[in-house]
Amino acid sequence: MDKELLNKGVLRLEWARSHMGVLAEVRRELVKSGALKGKRVGMALHVEAKTGILALTLKEAGAKVRLTSCNPLSTDDCVALALNERHRLETYAKKWQSNKEYYESLHKVLDIKPQITIDDGGDLIFLLHTERKELLDGIIGANEETTTGIIRLKAMEKDGALKFPVIAVNNAKMKFLFDNRYGTGQSTFDGVMNSTNLLIAGKTFVVAGYGWCGRGIAMRAKGMGARVVVTEVDPVRAIEAHLDGFDVMPMSEAAKRADFIVTVTGCRDIITEKEFKVMKYGCVMANSGHFDNEISKVDMKRMSKSVRRVREFVDEYALKDGRKLYLLAEGRLVNLAAGQGHPVEIMDMSFAIQALCAQHLALNGRRLKPHVYDVPTEIDDKVAALALKTNGIELDSQSKVQKAYLSTWREGT
Amino acid sequence: MDKELLNKGVLRLEWARSHMGVLAEVRRELVKSGALKGKRVGMALHVEAKTGILALTLKEAGAKVRLTSCNPLSTDDCVALALNERHRLETYAKKWQSNKEYYESLHKVLDIKPQITIDDGGDLIFLLHTERKELLDGIIGANEETTTGIIRLKAMEKDGALKFPVIAVNNAKMKFLFDNRYGTGQSTFDGVMNSTNLLIAGKTFVVAGYGWCGRGIAMRAKGMGARVVVTEVDPVRAIEAHLDGFDVMPMSEAAKRADFIVTVTGCRDIITEKEFKVMKYGCVMANSGHFDNEISKVDMKRMSKSVRRVREFVDEYALKDGRKLYLLAEGRLVNLAAGQGHPVEIMDMSFAIQALCAQHLALNGRRLKPHVYDVPTEIDDKVAALALKTNGIELDSQSKVQKAYLSTWREGT
Amino acid sequence: MDKELLNKGVLRLEWARSHMGVLAEVRRELVKSGALKGKRVGMALHVEAKTGILALTLKEAGAKVRLTSCNPLSTDDCVALALNERHRLETYAKKWQSNKEYYESLHKVLDIKPQITIDDGGDLIFLLHTERKELLDGIIGANEETTTGIIRLKAMEKDGALKFPVIAVNNAKMKFLFDNRYGTGQSTFDGVMNSTNLLIAGKTFVVAGYGWCGRGIAMRAKGMGARVVVTEVDPVRAIEAHLDGFDVMPMSEAAKRADFIVTVTGCRDIITEKEFKVMKYGCVMANSGHFDNEISKVDMKRMSKSVRRVREFVDEYALKDGRKLYLLAEGRLVNLAAGQGHPVEIMDMSFAIQALCAQHLALNGRRLKPHVYDVPTEIDDKVAALALKTNGIELDSQSKVQKAYLSTWREGT
Amino acid sequence: MDKELLNKGVLRLEWARSHMGVLAEVRRELVKSGALKGKRVGMALHVEAKTGILALTLKEAGAKVRLTSCNPLSTDDCVALALNERHRLETYAKKWQSNKEYYESLHKVLDIKPQITIDDGGDLIFLLHTERKELLDGIIGANEETTTGIIRLKAMEKDGALKFPVIAVNNAKMKFLFDNRYGTGQSTFDGVMNSTNLLIAGKTFVVAGYGWCGRGIAMRAKGMGARVVVTEVDPVRAIEAHLDGFDVMPMSEAAKRADFIVTVTGCRDIITEKEFKVMKYGCVMANSGHFDNEISKVDMKRMSKSVRRVREFVDEYALKDGRKLYLLAEGRLVNLAAGQGHPVEIMDMSFAIQALCAQHLALNGRRLKPHVYDVPTEIDDKVAALALKTNGIELDSQSKVQKAYLSTWREGT
C-alpha cells in the first residue's frame, strides 16, 4: 500500500467534507431518521473525493455501501484507496481501467445484492435488467444522476422494460441548474487547462450542444476570453445561443475554425470523419458529455498514420494528410479525467439531493411503480433552503398582502 | 392634425415593418388562410410601432381591429396618429392619459363587440368579466401577452370566474425566453439612459426579481459595468443570481446601497416606506414590471414635502428629511414610457406568436373550454423556424443513427 | 421664446449640476483663487447640459464667457436657450446648423477677443491661426478636449505653425481613461438605441478602431450581447482586441458581415465605396469619432438613387443595386447628435480637468512657449482625489515600511 | 534517472515548442545572425517547458547557456531533467528547493562567467553586484523579465549602484500587455482551481493590486462568475476598477468578506495580522506577485496553533481563535507553483522579446552605459508582426491619403 497515496486520499476526503455543509445537514437528518439503516446500496459514480463523502454519508446513516466508478477514467486513485483502507468502504475503481475491468467492477457492486442503486449514466440499472436479472426482486429503487442516464431510462420505460422505480436526480432544480451549468462550466476548464497549458483567450472555442452543460461551458469560455461558437440541433436553443452573442453554425462549418472543440450533447457521432477532414492543424478536442462516443475515435484512428500520447491526457493523432489533431482524455469526460471534477460546493448540493432521494426510496420505494420519477419538490426545497443557509444568503419574503395580491385578479391598471 | 407627427408615425411604422421579417411570413399565411376574415378583434397593447404592425397584420388578414393601449404612459402618439389617419385602423390611445381616459379607451375597444381580444395585463378580459358581461357570449377567446396578466388569469380560473379560453402567449418559449429577457434587458436601459443621462458603470444597480425579465436586466446592467444586486423571494432563483456573480440580499438592505433600483417582480409594494427611509440621497428608481404598484408612490408622497418633474420622465421627491429621491416614468414601465419599448426584432417574434394564436382561436376557439391554455407547440416551432431563417442561422440535424441511439437504452459505457 | 423649451433647458442644467460634484469642488477653488476674474474665455464644445455647467463654472469664477458648439449636430437647443435666457451666458449654437452657420458661430465666439480658448477638435485654434490672426497676440493659451484635436495640434506644432501654448486636456489620465472609454462606450449605445430601436444582442457589431474610445464601444457592445468585430491598423491593438475575444479583420471583410458599424478612428475614409459594395441589406452605420469623414457620405450618395430620412436620426440610402443602407446622425458624433452625450458623472471629471487647466493657463500661460503641453500631474491627481471622494471610494495607503521596501534593491528571494 | 519523468519532460518541451511559432521565427533569425555564437548566457527564469524552449533557442543560436529557476517553487522537475539529460543544457533547479539550495543554484549559473544574464526578479543581477563582483567586468548586459525586477533595478540605478546595462523586457508592449494581463489571468486560475477544487462562481474574490496582472486576474475572476473586490493604493487605478464594475475598498475591509484573496501588488505586507484577524473561517489566500512576502507567513504562523499541509499546495493554518485559513503554494507564485505557468502562446511572445533583446545586447551591449533601457521599438514591432502572422490576423493599413490627413491640421469641421 502506497502510504503517500493513502494520505493524499484521506486529506482529499477531509477537504471535501469540510466544504460540503449542505450534505452535512442532510447527514444529520439521515442518521436521525434511521431510514437507511441496514439497507444495501450499490453505487456507480465518479469515484473522487466528493463522491466519497456521499458514500460515507450513506454509510454513516447505517447503509451497507459498495462503490465503483461510472467511467473508466474518472477515478481518483488516492480517494479510492482511502475509502477502502481508512474508511472501510468497499470501493472497486481504478483510473485507466479497461472496459472489461470496468464491467467487472460494476458486477462487484451488484454482488452485494443492492436494494438501492445510485447510477450516473445508468450502467448498473442496465446490468440489472440484462445480466443480473436475478437481483431485480431485491431492488427497492434507484437514483440516476445525469441527463444521459435519464434519456436512457426513459427509453427503457417507453419500451416497457423498466422493472423498478427510478428517481431522476438530474431533474431537480438544485441539481441541473447548478451542477450541469456552473459545475461543468468550471470543471471543463480545469481539465482543458490542466491537460494542455494552452491559452483560451482569443481562441475559437466550439461548444457542441447548448443544454445546461453547454451553456455553462460557453459562458466560461467567453469569460476566459475565447470567441465562442455553438452548434445545436434545437432551434430555440440555437436562437438563445445566437442572442447570447455566440456564433451558431453546423459542426461541419464550426470544425473549420475551431482551436478547441468540446462536445456535451449526450448524443453519439458529433464529430466524425467529415469534420476531422476540415479541421485546422492542431485542433484540440475534448468531451464533457457522459459517454466517449461524441467524438469518433474510430474515424480518427482510421484517418491517422499514428497515434501517441504527448502529454498525460493528450493523444496526438497524426493524420495521413499531415495534420495533427489532439484528443484529450481519450474523449472521456475531460473534467473528471484530466481535471478534478466539479467544484466541491456544487457537488455538495447535488449529493444532498442524492442522499435525500436514497432516503425517500428507502421509505417509499416499495410503494412506487416502475417509472422515472422527478425528485419530490420537498427535497428540492429543502436543499435550496440549506444552500441558502450555507451560503449566508438572505431573501425577501412575501407579505400576506402581497400573497393576497398575487391571488386576486380584480386589481388592474 | 399635426403633419410632422403624422409623418413621424408613418415612418416609424414603416421602419418597424421592414425589420419584422418573421411577422411578415406569418402575415402571408394569415392572408392566405382567411381564418381572421371578418373577425372583430379588440386589442389592448402598448401602442407603439411594433404593436401597430401586429394590428395592421390582423387587419390585412381581414379582421376588423380596434386598438388601445394597456398602460397610460406607453403610447407613442405619432404611431397612434398614423394608425388612425394613414392606416384607418381605429386607435384609442394617448400618452400621459389619466386613469379615467385609460378606461374609457378600453371601453371604446370593447364597443366593437370583439370576438377575439388581445391583452397585455388582462384589463380587457377583466372588463369583459365585470362591467361588460353582455359581451361575453360573443367572445371566442383571448390572447394574453405578459406574465402578470397570466398570473391574474390563473387566479381567475382558480376562482371559477373565467368564462372563455385564453392563450398564454407569454408562455411560448419563443416569447418569454427572448422578449422577457433580451427585450426587457435592452429596453430598460434605453429608458433609464434616455431619461437620466447618468452613468451606469460603477453604480450599484439593484434589480428586484430574478425571473426572465430580471435576469435580462441584471445581465445588461453587468454588461454596462454596474455592480449588480438582486433581491428575490424564491430560493432557487436567489442561488442562481448568487452564482451568476450578483450580490443577493433583502430589499431593505439593498436599498441602502442602491444608486439605481429597477423593480420587475409582478408584485406590489416591493419598495415602500421602510426602504425609502434608508436610501442614499439621489437614488433613482424605475419599474419594468407591468403595473405601477411595485414602488409605492403613496408612501413616497407621504414622506415628501414636495414633488416636481425635473426631466421629462424624472420626478424628484424631496423628502422631509432633506434627501431627494428620483422616480422614473411615474413608476410605470420605464422601457415603454421613457424608452421605445423592446427592440423591433424581439417583438417580431412575440407578435408572430400573437398573430398565429389569434388565428388558432379563430379556427378552434369555439371548441375550447374556459381555461388558460399554453401556446400550441406547433406555433412555437413555426416561429422558431421562421426566426432561424430570418436570422440566417443554420443548425445541425440529427441523423437516423443518432435518433436511434437516443431512443435505445442498450448502449452504455 | 419657447417657455417649455426654456424650462426644459433650465432643468437639464440643474440636473447636470446636481450630479457634478467634482466640478463643484473645483468651482469653489476657482472662485476663491480669482485667477479667472475678468478673463475672456471663448469656448467651442458640444453645447449640452454638462458643457453648460462648465461654462457657468468659468463665469461664476469671474470669467467673461462666450460659447458655441464644436459640431453642427451636437447642440441641445433647450440648453442653449437656457444658457442665454436664464443664465445670461452668451451662447451661439443651434442643432442642425449648416456648415456656414457653424463657422459664423465660431467667429462670434472669437469676437470677444478671448484670452483663453477651449476647443474640442481645434476649430477655434485653427481660425485663430488663419482668418483671425489679429487675435493671436491676445491669447494666453488654449485647452483642447479631444484626441483628434491633439493630433491636429501636434501636426501644427510640427509644422512650426503653432503660436501659443495649448494644454492637451485629453491626455490627462482622469480624462482619456474614463471619458473616452466608459463615456463613449455608454453614450454611443444611447445614440444607437435611441435612433433605431433595433436589437443589439446577437448582431454582428463592427467597431473601427481599438483606441480608448473603440475599446469602450466594443466592451459595451459585448455587454449588450453583440458579436463584436474590431478593425485596426495598429498591430498591438489588434492583438489586444483578438485576445479580448473579438474577431479582428480588415474593414473590407468586416463590412460583409456587419449588422452595425461604428467608426471611431479619428481618420478619414474608413468606410468607402469598396465597403459599401459588400455590405448586407440594412446595415446600420454610425460614427463616434470627432469628424464626419470616417464614413464617406460622398461615396454613398454617388452609389444611391435616393436618400431619405426615415427616422429622426436615420438616413436611408437606397443604392442603385437595390440594397438599402442606413446612416445615423449624418455620420456625425452619434452619441451627441442622437443621444445625450456622455453620462454626467464622466463629464464631471473631464470638465474638472478643463476648469483647472483654464486656471493654470490664466496663472502661468504667459510664461509658456507655444507647444502642446500635457496636463500638469497635480491637476490630474487633484481630480482623481476629488473623484474618489465623490464616489466614496476608500483606498489602502502605503506604509513607510512598504515605501522603503519599494525603493530598496537588496531584498530578493 | 527516472525514465518516466524524463519522457514526460521531453514531451512537455516538444509540446511547448510546437505551440511557440513566434519564437521559432526568432530562432531562425538568431541562428542566421550568429550574434549569440559563443556567448555565455546565465539564466534565472521559472524552469518549465516554455522557459526550456527559450534556453534551447539561445543554445541553438550558438550560446553557451546555464539555467536555474528564479523561485524555489516554480520548477517543473520533468522539464529540468529533460533539459539536462536529453538536451544537454545545464540546468540547476528543483521544485521545493530550500532558500539555501536556491541561492546555490544561482551561483552555479554565475559560475559560467556569463556575458549576458536573463533574470526574472533580479536575483542574478543582485548577486553580481554583491557577492560576485568579480564577474562584473565580463558582463555585457542583462535582461529583466518582470515588473518587480524592474522596480528593484530602477532603485539600484537611482542609488548609482547599477554597473551594466539592463533591458526592461517587461516594459515591451508585446510583453506586459499580454503576459501580465492574459497570462497571469489564466494561469492564476489554473493554480487556484488545481490546488483547491473549489467553486469560483458566487465567491467573493479579492484581488490586491489593479496593475496589468491584477486586472487580468479580476477580469478572469469575473468571467468565472465571482464577485470581485479590488484593493489599490493608486487613485486612478482605483477609479478604473470601480468603473469596471468591481467593489473597491481597503484590504482591512475586503478581508472580512473574502472567500479568496490573490495578491499581485509587487509590494510586501499586503495581508498581515490586521487582516488575518477579521477573515472568515476558510478564507483561501494565494499570491501571484513575484515574491512570497505579500502575505505575511510570519504573522500567520504567530497567530496559529498549528499548520499542516492538507492538499499538495494548500497549507491549513489553524488559528488560536479556532478559525482555519488556507494559504496556497506557501505564498509563492501560485500560477507556477500550483499551476503550469502562463499559457504557452503567451510565453511565445514574451520569450521572443527576450531572445531578440539578448541578441541586441550581444550586438550593442558594449556600447551601452549602465542604465535600465526600454526594449527597442523595432523589437516590439517585430514581435507584434510575427504574432499577427502566427495568429492569422489581418489588419487594415493606412492609405497615403489617410496618412497625409493625419499630418495636416487644416481640415476641420
- What pLDDT shows up at residue B412? 84
Return the minimum-mean-pLDDT range out of A104-118, A397-411, D199-213.
Answer: A397-411
| Identity of residue B220 | R
- What pLDDT shows up at residue C412? 84
Q: In this structure, are strands B304-311 and B141-144 parallel, antiparallel, or unpaired? A: unpaired
Nearest to A74 by CA among A338, A292, A342, A268: A338
Mutate to test the interface with B, among D200, D227, D246 (most CBs of B within 10 A): D227
Subunit contact C227:A247, Cβ cutoff 8 A: yes
Subunit contact C238:D388, Cβ cutoff 8 A: yes
Rounded CA-CA distance B217/B227 in Å is 12
Segment (H or E) for B292: none
| Identity of residue C320 | K
Asked if residue C12 lies in contact with residue C49, where contact means CB atoms within 8 angstroms, the answer is yes
Question: Which three three-digit cell numbers place residue A332?
Answer: 472521456
Q: Is C136 helix (H, G, I), strand (E, B) or coil?
A: helix
Mean of the pLDDT values across residues A336-350?
Answer: 97
**Dihedral angle sign, alpha carbons of residues C128, C133, C138, C140:** positive
- What pLDDT shows up at residue D389? 96
Nearest to A187 by CA among A24, A45, A74, A315: A74
Rounded CA-CA distance D157/D137 in Å is 17
A43 Ramachandran zone, left/alpha/beta (phi>0; psi -120 to 50): beta
Question: Which three three-digit cell numbers place residue D389?
Answer: 502572422
Residue B273 has pLDDT above 90, yes or no: yes
Subunit contact A49:D220, Cβ cutoff 8 A: no
Nearest to C216 by CA among C225, C207, C205: C207
Q: Provide the CB-side half-sphere exposure for D146 (13 A, CA).
A: 25
The string of DSSP codes covering D296-335 is -HHHHHHHEEEEEEEETTEEEEEETTS-EEEEEGGGSBHH
Cα B290 to the chain's mean position, in Å? 7
- What pLDDT shows up at residue D17? 98
The string over C143-161, giving b where at least 16 C-beta atoms fall within 10 Å of a residue's C-beta and e elsewhere, is bbbbbbbbbbbbbbeeeee
For D222, name the nearest residue in chain B, comparing CA atoms only.
B245
- Nearest by CB: D243 against B225, B246, B247: B225
Rounded CA-CA distance A241/A239 in Å is 5
Subunit contact B186:C201, Cβ cutoff 8 A: yes
Segment (H or E) for C143: strand C141-144
Question: What residue spans of B232-318 are helical by DSSP H?
Answer: 235-243, 251-257, 273-276, 297-303
Residue B1 has pLDDT above 80, yes or no: no
Q: What is the residue-level pLDDT of chain D in tens, covering all 413 positions?
A: 799 999 999 999 999 999 999 999 999 999 999 999 999 999 999 999 999 999 999 999 999 999 999 999 999 999 999 999 999 999 999 999 999 999 999 999 999 999 999 999 999 999 999 999 999 999 999 999 999 999 999 999 999 999 999 999 999 999 999 999 999 999 999 999 999 999 999 999 999 999 999 999 999 999 999 999 999 999 999 999 999 999 999 999 999 999 999 999 999 999 999 999 999 999 999 999 999 999 999 999 999 999 999 999 999 999 999 999 999 999 999 999 999 999 999 999 999 999 999 999 999 999 999 999 999 999 999 999 999 999 999 999 999 999 999 999 988 88
C229 Ramachandran zone, left/alpha/beta (phi>0; psi -120 to 50): beta
Look up cell 414633488; give the residue: B307
Q: Taking CB atoms and an 8 Å cutoff, what residues of chain A touch D312? A: 8
Asked if residue B307 lies in contact with residue B318, where contact means CB atoms within 8 angstroms, the answer is yes
Question: What residue spans of C97-198 are helical by DSSP H?
Answer: 99-110, 123-129, 147-158, 173-175, 184-196
User: Residues with Cβ < 8 Å from B383, sequence gap 6 or more?
Assistant: B22, B26, B172, B174, B349, B352, B353, B356
Residue C295 DSSP class = B
CA D174 to chain C, closest CA, distance in angstroms equals 7
Subunit contact D11:A310, Cβ cutoff 8 A: yes
- Nearest by CB: D243 against B201, B242, B247: B201
- What pLDDT shows up at residue C187? 98
Subunit contact D345:A186, Cβ cutoff 8 A: no
Mutate to test the interface with D, among B229, B240, B242 (most CBs of D within 10 A): B242
Listing from the earlier edge strand, what are the strands of the sheet with C284-287?
A: C247-248, C227-231, C204-208, C260-263, C284-287, C324-328, C314-319, C304-311
Nearest to A191 by CA among C9, D358, C78, D194: D194
Rounded CA-CA distance A81/A88 in Å is 10
- In 10 A of CB A107, how many CB atoms? 14
| Identity of residue B158 | K
Contacts 24+ apart (CB under 8 A), C248-251: C248/D393, C248/D394, C248/D395, C249/D393, C249/D394, C250/D394, C250/D395, C250/D396, C251/C206, C251/C208, C251/C275, C251/D396
Cα A115 to the chain's mean position, in Å? 23
- Asked whether the whole model's pTM tops 0.95, one would answer yes
Subunit contact D15:A314, Cβ cutoff 8 A: yes
| Dihedral angle over CA of B128, B133, B136, B138, nearest 10 | -110
- What pLDDT shows up at residue B71? 94
How many H-runs (helices) and E-runs (strands) does chain A carry? 18, 15
Asked if residue A341 lies in contact with residue A332, where contact means CB atoms within 8 angstroms, the answer is no
Mean of the pLDDT values across residues A53-67?
Answer: 98
Mean of the pLDDT values across residues B271-299?
Answer: 97
Report how far apart the first and last C-alpha atoms of chain A are (Å, whole number). 75
Mutate to test the interface with A, among C203, C205, C227 (most CBs of A within 10 A): C227
Q: Provide the CB-side half-sphere exposure for B302 (13 A, CA).
A: 9
- What pLDDT shows up at residue A413? 84
Strand partners, C393: none
CA A310 to chain C, closest CA, distance in angstroms equals 26
Task: Measure the CA angle with vertex A173, ends A171 and A174; round to 5°.
Answer: 110
Strand partners, D315: D309, D327
Residues of chain C short of pLDDT 70, as ranges, are none
- What pLDDT shows up at residue A45? 97
- Nearest by CB: C225 against A201, A225, A244: A244
Asked if residue D184 lies in contact with residue D333, where contact means CB atoms within 8 angstroms, the answer is no
Most distant pair of Cα atoms in chain B: their distance: 75
Subunit contact D343:A224, Cβ cutoff 8 A: no
Mutate to test the interface with D, among A15, A199, A316 (most CBs of D within 10 A): A199
Look up cell 490586521; give the residue: D274
Q: In this structure, are strands A304-311 and A314-319 parallel, antiparallel, or unpaired? A: antiparallel
Question: Which three three-digit cell numbers place residue A92?
Answer: 472497486
CA C409 to chain D, closest CA, distance in angstroms equals 5
| Dihedral angle over CA of D355, D358, D362, D364, nearest 10 | 110
- Nearest by CB: D223 against A224, A311, A340: A224
- What pLDDT shows up at residue D413? 84
Contacts 24+ apart (CB under 8 A), B301-310: B302/B273, B303/B273, B303/B276, B303/B277, B309/C11, B310/C11, B310/C14, B310/C15
Asked if residue B223 lies in contact with residue C224, where contact means CB atoms within 8 angstroms, the answer is yes
Report the residue count for chain A: 413
Look up cell 403633419; give the residue: B3
- B115-168 per-position pLDDT tens digit: 999 999 999 999 999 999 999 999 999 999 999 999 999 999 999 999 999 999
| Identity of residue A249 | M
Radius of gyration of chain D (CA): 22
Listing from the earlier edge strand, what are the strands of the sheet with A324-328?
A: A247-248, A227-231, A204-208, A260-263, A284-287, A324-328, A314-319, A304-311
Subunit contact D14:A310, Cβ cutoff 8 A: yes
Subunit contact A405:B267, Cβ cutoff 8 A: yes
- C330-345 per-position pLDDT tens digit: 999 999 999 999 999 9
- C241-252 per-position pLDDT tens digit: 999 999 999 999
Q: Is C231 helix (H, G, I), strand (E, B) or coil?
A: strand
For B248, name the nearest residue in chain D, comparing CA atoms only.
D202
Rounded CA-CA distance C218/C226 in Å is 9
Q: Directed axis angle between helix B21-33 and helix B344-364, to 10°?
A: 20
Q: Taking CB atoms and an 8 Å cutoff, what residues of chain C touch A226? A: 245
Asked if residue A379 lies in contact with residue A353, where contact means CB atoms within 8 angstroms, the answer is yes
Strand runs (DSSP E) across C46-124, as ranges? 64-68, 90-92, 116-119
Rounded CA-CA distance D121/D333 in Å is 12
